[in-house]
Amino acid sequence: MPLELMITPEEVEITAIRAQGAGGQNVNKVSSAVHLRFDIAASSLPEEVRERLLKLGDQRISGEGIVVIKAQKFRSLEKNRLDAMRRLNELIASVAVTAKPRRPTKPSRSSIAKRLESKMRRGKLKAARSRVAE
C-alpha cells in the first residue's frame, strides 16, 4: 500500500525563469519556465523517507540535499508549475514505498538435472562436428 505524502506549497520555492529554445516573439519577454527548489532536510516528510531521498543517486538532488527541478515543457507558466510539482511528487513517491526484501531461493533438483542434461547434449553435438579420427 503506497504511503500518501503531501507537500505543502510553503515547503517549495518556485521561481519563474525564461525558457530555453524556440518561443517566437515572446522568448525574450515572458518567463514561462519554472525552477522548483525543495529542501529535503527542512521538509515535513517522515524521517525514513527523507533518508531514502537523500541516499537516492538522482542528479536533481544537490549535495546540500535540495531537489532542483526545471520545468519548461509547456508555454504556460501555470502548466509548468503543475508539471514541476507532479515530478517532485513522483520523485518522493518513488522512495516512499520500501522494497520487499528478496528471499534467496535454491534451484530445484529437476531444474539442475535439466540444465546439466542440456549442457551434455550441446557438448555432444559440438564434439560431433570435429574431424573423424581414422
Domain with 40 in it: what CATH number?
Answer: 3.30.160.20
Domain contains 17:
yes
Between CA 50 and CA 105 the distance in angstroms is 32
The pLDDT of residue 6 is above 80? no
Query: Does 65 fall in a domain?
Result: yes
Phi, psi of 28 (to 5 degrees): -100, 0
Q: Which residue has the higher pLDDT, 3 or 71?
A: 71
Report the pLDDT value the prediction gives residue 117, as an integer from 0 to 100. Answer: 98
42-77 pLDDT, tens digit each? 888 888 888 888 888 888 888 888 888 999 888 888
> Is residue 124 included in any domain, yes or no?
no
Position 3 pLDDT exceeds 60:
no
Residue 117 lies in a domain: no
Domains identified in the chain, total number: 1
Q: How far is CA 4 from CA 1, 7, 48, 70, 88, in A?
A: 9, 10, 14, 24, 14
Lowest-confidence segment of 2-6, 78-82, 86-90, 109-113 by average pLDDT: 2-6
Residue 123 resides in a domain: no
Take residue 98 and report the three cell numbers written for it: 520500501
User: What are φ and ψ of residue 57, in 5° steps?
Assistant: -85, 50
Range of the domain at 73: 9-96
Residue 109 is assigned to a structural domain of this protein = no
101 falls within a domain: no
Q: What is the mean pLDDT of residues 16-41?
A: 80
Q: Is 110 contained in some domain?
A: no
pLDDT at 102 over 60: yes
Q: For the purposes of burial, counting CB atoms within 10 Å of the CB of 122, is it exposed (0-12), middle (13-18) or buried (19 or more)?
A: exposed
Region for residue 122 given its phi and psi (left: phi exceeds 0; alpha: psi -120 to 50; beta: otherwise) = alpha
State the pTM of this model.
0.66
